[in-house]
Structure 1
């Protein structure tokens, strides 16, 4: 098993990038987002860079940067680009740190299409990564959480556990119990997210991750 952790979400906008920053900081890992869409809003890599404090972590350049804020397969199609998943896995091998974890952030959830035939869950398998699931609390989040857990179990992909973000809700304990995956931590709702916030949350998370 490679020392790779893939960060996926139960959907879009559940706190995946902030969670990635906190996990990267906690483990002094390297960070990579293979496919970035929605370039008009900036890149998640730039966000991560601005939030890390440790002198060790490196944020690696994306394999594909696409303008449209859409699924990778659609954004690539609109730009006339073909995403090559083999190229992504080859780049991952060159970026992989020798003695530290490698945090890889996905786009959206497990069934987001990377190409017309390859989905995020297929990419996770090819990268030989373990998974951390990021979940928010909203109407429908139990269903999205348990569907995500079910697919990972069905595909026999190793899962480290859950990170919950945003407002606290009793659903968290039930999702943990029903899924069988442990709760690694939670990231509270914050009006301002900066290096100090990320460092504080990273320290809280470090025992669970290590």
Structure 2
């Protein structure tokens, strides 16, 4: 299921514990896209790549190897220092594929990769649009608007927003109306996060993603 104009983008969260890997699984399944996690910090035996692999059902998705696999579950710059590794932006390049591609960041946009470079610098280098994951909690409006502003200040295109967690219309409506960004729906919580959960949510976001892809 390869195509001439694949939809390739970076999936970033507005903070930590946003559920990016679950959202990545849903989006990967919806598009039967390839998946790449540039930096994995900690959980090397049960990495985010392995989590996505376990949660999807399609047989088209290819998983691309991380550029850095760090042992400690810390910010990449701190985990790299413990491992005696120096993360450099020159080590990253978008995997070659003719398929759709989802790239999941390690943490939020302002997470440091080394003493000078942040995740947002990596985003800027990869030159792909961002799908921003927001999760409803006290302070999420502020974190989401700050993330949007940071991307816009650097001229980084934003594909849109996807919400994760229980429905909170007041927050969701304000964020969408204030930013003017497209919403790709919300990941409905409830029950165990497994293949059925991912498949069910993938079916709900797939039409929105396909509509966007068809408009390119």
Match of 1:68 among 67, 72, 78: 72
Q: Who is 2:27 aligned against? A: 23
CA contact (8 A) 2:44 2:69 kept: no
Report the counterpart of residue 79 of structure 1 in structure 2: 83
Return the alpha-carbon distance in structure 2 between the equivalents of residues 193 and 77 of structure 1: 33
Q: Any idea what the Cα deviations from partners look like across 1:96-122, whole Å, max 9, x if unmatched?
A: 212x21110001111111121111111
Return the alpha-carbon distance in structure 2 between the equivalents of residues 127 and 51 of structure 1.
Answer: 26
TM-score, structure 1 as length reference: 0.93
Separation (CA, whole Å) in 2 of partners of 1:3 and 1:209: 9
Match of 2:193 in 1: 193
Q: Which residue of 2 aligns with 1:7?
A: 11
Give the alignment of 1:13-52 within 5 angstroms.
Answer: 13-39=17-43, 42-52=46-56
User: For 1:48, what is the secondary structure of its paired residue?
Assistant: helix
How far residue 136 of structure 1 moved from its aligned partner, in angstroms, is 0.7
In the alignment, structure 1 segments of 5+ residues that lack a partner are: none
CA RMSD of aligned residues (A): 1.5
Distance 1:185 1:126, change over 3 A: same
Residue 150 of structure 1 deviates from its aligned partner by 0.7
Secondary structure of the equivalent of 2:202? helix
Number of residue pairs the alignment of both structures matches: 205
Query: What does the per-residue CA deviation read over 1:162-210, in whole Å, with 9 as the maximum and x for residues that have no partner?
Result: 1111111120110111112111110012230111111111111111111
Alignment of 1:161 onto 2:165: no
Gaps of 5+ in 2: 211-216
Structure 1 residues 83-162: aligned runs within 5 Å: 83-89=87-93, 92=94, 95-98=95-98, 100-162=99-161
